[in-house]
Amino acid sequence: MSQCPKISSRIDLRRLLSSVGIGCHESKKVILSAALSKGFRTVGSVRSAPSRSSQLTNSEICLTWPEYLALRKKQRRFALFTTIPSTTLGLGLGINYFATIEAAPTDLIMGIEAPYIYGISTLACGILGYLIGPTIGHAIFRLRVNKSVRTEMQKKSGEFYSHIKKNRVDPAQSIVNNPLPDWHGERIGSLKDYRRWLRDQSAYRRKATQHALTHHFVLGGPIHGLGFHHTAI
């Protein structure tokens, strides 16, 4: 069996075609079809690359609970770090503006002495800066995080808050001297923090139940859930 010659260029291909009796015009068609088929293979390989990268991207945006809680903790830190300078800036601007206004003690604004109004306005500037700070921090955090990650965080946030609503203490069981323990779950930044939060909710629930039992025994009212009355001594 004869071995096929190795073709290294278009010139070699044209010589081979002329040797087997194919003319110049027909040889150009053969060369063009070979180039087109090679180009289609190249384009096909290039087009297949984005599909693989898109599959890789879709697999990367799936957040686990530890990753979500870590991002949530980082977002809260951004809000905290921007709240401090915004509050200081608002308070400083208020002092700088209202301290330069000359007002006599007899001047009244809405029936109140002007110095008191200026002091309240200065505090209002600080409170305004305190409220704007978290919004700025959240905006900076969103700029630093990929859009697909933000979308996944929104989905996880819905599931997270449903868990919080399901397991947190009933506000009707609140005790005056013992406030509700992190009712919104703001301090949860890891699975360890979440388990600690669950333990705090259970401990508060037991304490509230004991407080309700003591209250009913002392006052002689009905003990809900036990079905009898206790007479106070």
Point out the least confidently predicted range of 25-34, 35-44, 190-199: 35-44
- Does 47 have pLDDT greater than 50? no
Place of tokens 């401090």: 84
Q: Please state, in angstroms and rounded to a whole number, the distance separating the CA atoms of residues 71 and 74.
A: 5
Beta bridge partners of 178: 175
Residue 233: its pLDDT value, please?
30
Q: What is the mean pLDDT of residues 209-218?
A: 70
Total Cβ atoms within 10 A of residue 197: 19
Tokens of 159: 């599931």
Residue 11: its pLDDT value, please?
53
Residue 168: its pLDDT value, please?
92
| 164-170 long-range contacts, CB within 8 A, separation 24+ | 167/198, 167/201, 168/201, 169/201, 169/204, 169/205, 169/208
Total Cβ atoms within 10 A of residue 226: 10
Place of tokens 């010139």: 11
- Does 13 have pLDDT greater than 70? no
Look at the pTM and tell me if it is higher than 0.75.
Answer: no
- Does 32 have pLDDT greater than 70? no
CB 136 within 8 A of CB 87: no
Place of tokens 């601007």: 93
Residue 51: its pLDDT value, please?
46
**If you compute the radius of gyration of the chain from its CA atoms, what whole number of angstroms results?**
37
Q: What is the mean pLDDT of residues 167-195?
A: 86
Q: Which of 19-23, 29-33, 62-66, 128-132 has the highest mean pLDDT?
A: 128-132
Chain centre to alpha carbon of residue 90: 27
- On average, the pLDDT of the chain sits at 75
Tokens of 222: 């009905």
Q: pLDDT band for position 110 (50/70/90)?
A: confident
